[in-house]
Amino acid sequence: MDNVQGRLTKLVHISKRACDQLGILVRSIYSSIDEQTATVKQDKSAFTIADGLVQELLSELFEGKVKTIVGEEDDAQVRLDRRPMTVGSLCVPEQHERIIERSRRGMQELGRELEDGGYQDLTVFIDPIDGTREFSTKKGEQCSICIGFSDGGGQAVAGLVYRPIPEGGFLTTNGKISGFVEKLMGELKEERVSSGGAGNKMLMLLEGKGGMYIQDRGVSRWDTCAAQAVIEAYGGLLCRLDREVKAYSNLNGLLAVSKEGRERLGEVREAMRRVEEEEGPSYD
């Protein structure tokens, strides 16, 4: 790998790690988006606090490391050093403040890895939330964070398109499901996504084609061992249905989520508790 390719590869890898951190913030905002955190700009395009915050935090990451930063929301007036935090005319709800502070520290740490990287010939183009209208109307799986780099001649030389919000959906078997699973889907307000194969459903989680996979019937280790190793290597989880224990027998059922889905584990466990008051898992 030559020096130019090597430094661009490093730049994209750091951008990906930045998006991994910012994705937590984006998903937090998305889960509570309302008229207090979204508005319409003069050009009639949608704007949310996520647009301004992601633009600001990525700008902090790249400031002084590249020649020029060009972003869709360059004009957003973001104030993070006083309370309440504001993005333009919008106030940032207090519930997001700790995530923002953690994200800022993360950008500072990643920025140190870019020092002396020799990126002063590059311009970075940032679209913090590509698809803001979809983001603000609960179609977040259609949105992405776009970070592109061009050289001094204007040629695009590297980039990252990052989808922070995976598709929702409750992955189940193609066959009949138990009353427990049916009620749990309703409690979580998730749509059923039917598919065959335990391993295939784990891959669907990693591809962002489902939010969680819950099975309350017998599964075999030859169905799940390889998939468990893969999904956990990418930050996800596969464990017993009744509690977070990774070693399980065939009749314990299973709960599997991607790295992003782990953020909802508390919500899922609480929903399971409520459903079990009416109908418990099948475990057949």
- State the binding site: 72, 127, 129-130, 223
* Strand ranges across the sheet with 78-79: 78-79, 86-87, 90-91
The DSSP bridge partners found for residue 170 are: 192, 212
The single residue listed with the structure tokens 């951190």 is 21
Read off the tokens for 38. Answer: 């979204």
Please state, in angstroms and rounded to a whole number, the distance separating the CA atoms of residues 88 and 211.
33
Please state, in angstroms and rounded to a whole number, the distance separating the CA atoms of residues 109 and 250.
44
**What is the maximal distance between C-alpha atoms in the chain?**
66
Pairing of strands 90-91, 123-130: unpaired
Please state, in angstroms and rounded to a whole number, the distance separating the CA atoms of residues 72 and 78.
14
Residue set of the binding site for Mg(2+): 72, 127, 129-130, 223
